[in-house]
Amino acid sequence: MIIRKAAVNNFEDALKLVKKTGSDKFAHKILAKKAVLIAVVIDAIDNRAASILKQEALSAGADAAVNENVSRFKKGFSDTVLFATVKQIEILIKKLCFQPFGLKEVAAHLSEIKDSLLADKKIWKYKKTFIDILSPAVMGIINMDPQSFSGDGLTNADEAVKRAIEFEKAGAKILDIGAESSRPGAKLIDAKTEIKRLLPALKKIKKAVKIPVSIDTYKYETAKAALNEGADIINDIFALQKGKDKLAKLIANSKAGVILMHMQGVPASMQKDPSYKDCVSEVFEFLSQRKKYANSFGIKNEFIAVDPGPGFGKTVEHNLELVKNMSAFSSLGAVVGAVSRKKFIRAASSSEDKTAFVAANFLAAYCGADIVRVHDVKETVNVLKLITSIRRV
């Protein structure tokens, strides 16, 4: 007899373990749901709701860590962490959807988390097609700004086409073209300058490659010009806050994909003194609200991706926390991990070597990013094959 600890990182791992026992096939999913323990953070919950949640969790065989004021029956709001298996969450959803004090909303969010964990396929839609992101997809960066922080800025459309073809051959599933630097301290440019830099490259790239093209812009005028030239996705660092209703309507009507990114402040000053009480929770709440905003204009969930925005108004510690918690954003849609060549990687690794940057891309994907936005495409594609291989075991 051999007794050992099993490595169960997700529902698929649990399902494989159960199947190996030779148990009845009708019991496989039922048993696997009991094997995956999930920790769910609920910030600023009504203490009365926390008390009910605690009792219902215990009755379902789960548990919750609640503020001591909850047991003292004090009014107010506090933070709670629920610990439950997928099966226990299913039981809780049924119980909480009839409860007061905001617990119906808790039930709805638990349902989203459960569905994302049990999904046997994951796609990100754009136009009339989609990208399969069940395995992490690489998004290759093409900078048409000579001031790019990474030192790879291009000024020639033919050079951009050459790089696009190289990225596609290397295994990139998406291209992201930008013409305005958003590095810390950068000054923003006008739409006319951005379009002048962007469009010649976009026109040629769309003819040269088959993979979708994303445009890194937050300006309505630039997005409209790019979409008219066949762009498939808009990558907005301001999460539709600058372009507002006009940009949201444009994306919805074009059925383009969209990436909503979090940033504290603006590029010119975002790194002066970034601060959060709880970085992951605050970034999640922001992206959740921006997703609802996008939804209100008809942009459907499956067309939306979210980017927690490492490097944009965060300290080194904040950035590492976001990378570690990439999977926390999965209930919002496709998750973009954009850590490539950013300053915090140098600070955390004490290295200028490319291996540190590629390792950061790998970690973002391993920790839950569905799409990894990178400069070093070939190297990142190669290391990400390891994740796919490990998940197949």
- Catalogue the active-site residues: 342, 373
Extended beta strands in the chain, E state: 37-46, 63-65, 77-85, 123-126, 129-132, 137-143, 174-178, 213-216, 233-236, 257-261, 304-307, 334-337, 371-374
Residue type, 238: F
Q: Are 337 and 311 in contact (CB under 8 A)?
A: no
Q: Are 142 and 176 in contact (CB under 8 A)?
A: yes
> Which distant-in-sequence residues (6+ apart) come within 8 Å of 277 by Cβ?
none
Q: Are 377 and 140 in contact (CB under 8 A)?
A: yes
Q: Say whether 123 sits in a helix, a strand or coil.
A: strand
Look-up: residue for tokens 């190669």? 382
DSSP state of 115: H
Q: How far apart are the first and last CA of the chain?
A: 23
Between CA 253 and CA 332 the distance in angstroms is 21
CA distances (Å), origin 338, targets 300, 310, 365: 23, 7, 10
Between CA 228 and CA 221 the distance in angstroms is 11
Sheet containing strand 63-65, edge to edge, reads 37-46, 77-85, 63-65
Q: Are strands 137-143 and 233-236 parallel, antiparallel or unpaired?
A: unpaired
